[in-house]
Structure 1
Amino acid sequence: MGRLARFGAIAGMVVLAGSPALAQQKTLTVAGYGGSWEQQLRKQVFPAFEAKHGVKIDYVAGNSTDTLAKLQAQKANQVIDVAIVDDGPMYQAIQLGFCGKIEGLDKADLYPAALFKDDKAVAVGQTGTGFMINTKTFKDKGWATPTSWNDLKDPKFKKLLVIPPINNTYGLYTLMMFARLNGGGEKNIEPGFKVMKADINPNVLVYEPSPGKMTELFQSGQAQIAVWGTGRVQAFANTGFPVDFIYPKEGAPILLASACPVAKASANPLANEFIKTLISAPVQTAFAKEMGNGPVNTKVDVNMPELKMAPVGVRAKLVIQPDWNAINAQREDWTKRWNREVER
């Protein structure tokens, strides 16, 4: 290659490198839930976002405590750009400095419950916590529909009950509710551990964290009742499997799926755009229709049949707001004790 040609090639490379499209980071790493959440993100969000922004999304599936652990392990060199976790771990992530501010967040169309202090995160879906039952089995056996958290103690559910472990919000909420029902609560968890060990453990088939395995246990007939969330149960029911969600009369703790842009020196500006896409009315509508997720955007019609399980409308009155400050101050100790005394 002659000197002139070489100069032209180098000049061309400089021009290309300086163009905005190529200057952008070409990969956006998103860490979030597996199961129906991952399926819907890959279907409803990723293709259009990748095409619009010329980016490839690298998705890392895991439960909220897994994602928080990754943020802690990578704090010297964060790989994740967007973290999607439950509200409890999100408060921890913010406190630990892992979340940056969401730039350009338009709050006009969002429910107040979706907002976090200083725009360090935003809720992307609302879920109530209660029971999933196999309606066909309950009908065939003539079993009454459970109405109370205390119904999980019933001996007829021996080795038929599935509860996620304590590192999953649904498992944590189960412990919390039994503490509340027996004179304790978030600041006195002792009664909860007592009930879990004496009355609930004999009925538990397995403490299962995986959404995929949870549905498999029902499909195989091994499990007939579980503690789970409205969105997960609705997504499962949408496949045609005979399950329904039950709101316990004592209340259904609310779970807010939440997203934040990870704070780091080379923060990808597309992290903010991705989060704003998640809370947009079209995506929130799709999440509602496909997963039964309670929307955070006020422009979504909450009267759609796909939200019949979601904590919206009259069902919102059954929602309980946990004290996350009290929980997070003790969660590590509770987890160690759970692993030692409950899930042995």
Structure 2
Amino acid sequence: MKKVRRNLMLFAAILLVLAGCGKPVQPKGEAAKANTEVKKDELSIAIFGGDWGKTIKKHIIEPFEQETGIKVNIIEGNSTTTFSRLLQEKGSPTIDLALMDSGISEMSFEEDVVEGIDKSKLKGIDSLLPEAFHGNGEDVFGVALGYWGLGIVYNKDEIKNPPKSWNDLWKEEYKGKLTVPTPATTGGLPLLMQIAELEGEAKGTVDKGLSKMKELEVVAYFDGSGTATNLYQSGEASVGAHYGGPAYVMKDQGQPIEFVVPEEGVLGAGSFWHMVKGTKKSEQVYSFLNYATTKSAQEGIASDLYLAPVHKDVELDEKTIERMPFGKNGSIQDLNMPDYNLINQHREEWNELWNREMGS
């Protein structure tokens, strides 16, 4: 267990440098002050930066503040930087509620830096899908902001025979036009596992998958959503992997970009709210979670970020429905959800293997 914990902390420290999404975690500042004084009218929350952060503020944080009178101190970062900070502050946190993605979410619970969620303290639970709650077995430790996934993207002006399957990325005509994620991203190791599975490899091993990935002639690998978007926008890459939300943003901006749900399904992931272990503001945390899972909040997040909502009664326009990560007529259950616990068991090993074999 000590070795696992040491490896996890090393992993978190490494990803502080590698991760390409969001801003670095801000200094303690107001968050520390709020937690130290236990002000009941304040709450410190770690969220993502960029468009995600703006959308979360617009549809959840600002209306929550207006409705409750609770001031939210925002700490912007990404899943890995937030996780690293929680490890550093274990036992004396300055964050009350943290947003983290699949994979890092499970690690945060394993490392005992987040609390279990008491579903009885959530209102309107009957209006939420089962997927609203994230955990291991009976242990619920996350409440979903929404679900998203890694799929295939192509430039329709450059690619005349669009890909339909992950296997299609190896087409001769795509050589030198591709980009795929590194393990530093949420989708990197799930994609490596998917390719290994398509190569007939047993679960828990990725040697054949890595050998197959080495055959790809890529323009570049991307280590964050923003990097991938830049590659497609600049025209350096015209086909490969990307996340649905950013891909549709490019399309809305007039880029000739199309998003494809692969035959094998989008490689699913979720973004989850976690109550930080040791917070003195659990009452305010549950109040926030209750607002974050309302119909209006879920509709706003789905419409602006194209995340699959977990409220049963959301009303989405046709455009948003078509851009759900599982396609127009699917559901969250249709997402190809990787085994993130298995990935975490091999995360350090597979990262080292990728860096050694792929040289990036």
Letter in 2 for 1:135: K
- Asked if residue 164 in structure 1 is aligned to residue 196 in structure 2, the reply is no
Higher Cα Rg: structure 1 or 2?
Answer: 1
**CA RMSD, aligned part only?**
2.4
Alignment of 1:209-248 (within 5 A): 209=224, 211-248=225-262
Aligned residue among 134, 142, 148 for 1:121: 142
Alignment of 1:322-337 (within 5 A): 322-337=338-353
- Asked if residue 43 in structure 1 is aligned to residue 58 in structure 2, the reply is yes
User: How far apart are the structure 2 equivalents of 1:328 and 1:161?
Assistant: 27
Q: Which residue of 2 aligns with 1:182?
A: 199
- Work out whether residues 235 and 290 of structure 1, in 8 Å CA contact, stay in contact via their aligned partners in 2: no
Shift of 1:171: 1.2
Shift of 1:165: 2.0
Letter in 2 for 1:65: T
Count of paired positions: 315
- Residue 145 of structure 2 aligns to a residue whose secondary structure is strand
Shift of 1:166: 0.7
- Work out whether residues 109 and 297 of structure 1, in 8 Å CA contact, stay in contact via their aligned partners in 2: yes
- Asked if residue 295 in structure 1 is aligned to residue 341 in structure 2, the reply is no
User: How far apart are the structure 2 equivalents of 1:49 and 1:159?
Assistant: 48
User: How far apart are the structure 1 equivalents of 2:133 and 2:41?
Assistant: 29
CA shift digits 1:299-319 (9 cap, x unpaired): 113563212121266334752
Letter in 1 for 2:75: Y
- Residue 330 of structure 2 aligns to a residue whose secondary structure is helix
- Work out whether residues 28 and 268 of structure 1, in 8 Å CA contact, stay in contact via their aligned partners in 2: no
Kindly report structure 1 stretches of 4+ aligned residues shifted beyond 4 Å: none
User: How far apart are the structure 2 equivalents of 1:38 and 1:76?
Assistant: 27
User: How far apart are the structure 1 equivalents of 2:139 and 2:262?
Assistant: 34
Aligned residue among 155, 162, 167 for 1:150: 167
Stretch of structure 1 that moved more, 334-343 or 144-153: 334-343
Q: 1:147 to 1:100 in 2, by over 3 A?
A: same
Q: What 5-or-longer segments of structure 1 have no aligned partner?
A: 1-21
User: How far apart are the structure 2 equivalents of 1:190 and 1:38?
Assistant: 37
User: How far apart are the structure 1 equivalents of 2:318 and 2:349?
Assistant: 42
Letter in 1 for 2:288: F
TM-score, normalising length: structure 2: 0.79
User: How far apart are the structure 1 equivalents of 2:355 and 2:45?
Assistant: 29
Alignment of 1:24-43 (within 5 A): 24=39, 27-43=42-58
User: How far apart are the structure 2 equivalents of 1:84 and 1:23?
Assistant: 21
User: How far apart are the structure 1 equivalents of 2:253 and 2:283?
Assistant: 37
Shift of 1:82: 1.7
Q: Percent identity?
A: 27
Q: What 5-or-longer segments of structure 2 have no aligned partner?
A: 1-36
User: How far apart are the structure 2 equivalents of 1:35 and 1:23?
Assistant: 29
Letter in 2 for 1:322: P
User: How far apart are the structure 2 equivalents of 1:324 and 1:212?
Assistant: 23
Q: 1:152 to 1:261 in 2, by over 3 A?
A: same
User: How far apart are the structure 2 equivalents of 1:152 and 1:226?
Assistant: 7
- Residue 145 of structure 1 aligns to a residue whose secondary structure is coil
TM-score, normalising length: structure 1: 0.82
Q: 1:339 to 1:274 in 2, by over 3 A?
A: farther
Letter in 1 for 2:238: Q
User: How far apart are the structure 2 equivalents of 1:26 and 1:318?
Assistant: 41
Letter in 2 for 1:233: A
